[in-house]
Amino acid sequence: MIEEENKNKLIAGVLGGMGPLATVDFMSMVTEFCPIEKEEDHVRLLVDQNPHIPSRQIMTPEISTKIASTLSQSAVNLENIGANFLVMPCNTAHKFYDLISDAIEIPFLHIVDETVSEISNYFSDKKTVGILATTACLKSEIYQAGLKKNDKDFILPDKENQEECMRIIFSIKDEGDLTGLSQSMKKVAESLIKNGADIIIAGCTEIPLVLKQEDLSVPVISSTKILAIRTIEQANIINIARDYK
């Protein structure tokens, strides 16, 4: 068990590696957005960067059981070594959120709930949300259910654009080469805007690596950024002002 010297700060445990670049991007954002006066003001992170978790896109009963048990054990391990709360910078893996939560006693921030709440709190005028996410995430309907609860309509990519979205995501996961992917992801997002989306969720943590606010004419809500901000707020017990325009 880690003994934390600063009792006013909480330690965040990170279930990472899904994929590795996205987890590093998340940690970078935790550093970037944390308001500090000195180095010690940064958030302490305990990270399990595990890229060996089976693909969340293939969810046979056997694979689902393996994913759930691996993530649950990682969560227990992080709790045992001193994490005060957990985060998981992978949207699709939140299909297993309840099973992981049942294995631990500490709080576990939910990336989908936090992202949907951000839209409701700061973009109440936006009624139709375009969802960019993995096919497995969309099939689980965790974003759709959250948006419905908050009285938001949603639009999903058509078959061709969803296939392109997946190609881009796995190019990042498997190759780590971002070259030329931004323009391709922009076209997928623009297809949602053309069909009526007035705000876009980057609901896969690979997507913010290649899709930025300046790429689109409507707000882009990065689930990675929201989770990073909420991690800072939870750890430091503070509120961070948003800079939406």
Q: Among this protein's residues, is 165 annotated catalytic?
A: no
Give the residue from 104, 105, 121 showing the smallest Cα distance to 113.
121
Residue among 34, 137, 165, 204 flagged as catalytic:
204
Measured CA to CA in angstroms, residue 233 lies from 147, 199, 203, 223 at distances of: 23, 24, 21, 15
Cis-peptide, bond into residue 19, ω within 30° of zero: yes
Contact 137/18 with Cβ under 8 angstroms? no
Q: Among this protein's residues, is 34 annotated catalytic?
A: no
Q: Residue 238: how many CA atoms within 13 Å on its side-chain side?
A: 16
Residue among 34, 90, 137, 165 flagged as catalytic:
90
Q: State how far the Cα of 218 lies from the Cα of 75, in Å rounded to an integer.
A: 36
Give the residue from 115, 97, 88 showing the smallest Cα distance to 23.
88
Q: What b-and-e string marks burial along 54-89, b requiring 16 or more CB atoms within 10 Å of the CB?
A: eebeebeeeebeebbebbbebbeebbeeebbbbbbb
Annotated catalytic residues are 90, 204
